[in-house]
Structure 1
Amino acid sequence: MTRQTYSISDLSRELDITTRAIRFYEEQGMLTPERRGLERIYTARDKVTLKLILRGKRIGFSLAECRELIELYDPTGDNKKQLTHMLGKITERRAMLEQQLLDIEQMKLELDTAEERCTQALARAQA
């Protein structure tokens, strides 16, 4: 059975990310491709890692949080620990977003108040 491998351009095309981004994750120690001369050879595990990083970024996880989740990944197990940890991170992220929504609504009210005061002051100045 041959092991599935990918070049950097294969992964770039498949996952719709730049080769520069892939090299960045490699520099961060999150990917460890084999080398054949100057060519990088990525494994199926590297591809899964990249998918997890990209998914984590889409839902607002930091690179450090993505790294935590990836380190908990166990392809031979049931990944309960990883999934439980991810659920906790999702709960934290949701709470942070809810707070940001409240902050935005408050800021909008303050802008409305400031706008109304400016409009009234201009009307008085022109009268």
Structure 2
Amino acid sequence: MIITCYQCTSDMEEVRTDVFKCPFCGYQVRQLSLSPEITQADIEAAAANDIGKGHVVERVKRYNWPIEEAITETVRKHEKHGNWPEIAEKNDIAKHTYYARVKSGWSHERAATDKVDKKKTPYSKRGVTQC
């Protein structure tokens, strides 16, 4: 396929199957018509596999997945913390405190179960007392 540069009217080189670049002026263009069409049957097959339409469209259009793989590969669930934030709230530990503790290297269990030391407030650390 020959595509002519919009700026200098010379023939463009194919960088990838959907990207063309002019060797003279450096102008790049992406051809969007090469992406495969997603049919209603594909959407229904994905729904049967518990994959939403948005995931299928993003996988095919944005990440260039084959349609067959986009409708069959399960969506990863990120359960990094499990139910530890809820346990922390039951122990009167705020969620943001729990997340800050885990981010600073605490284990999930310790971050969710160690009580908050009320004496260590930001004001007492700076030597200022609360009124």
TM-score normalized with structure 1 length: 0.27
User: In terms of Rg, which structure is larger?
Assistant: 2
TM-score normalized with structure 2 length: 0.26
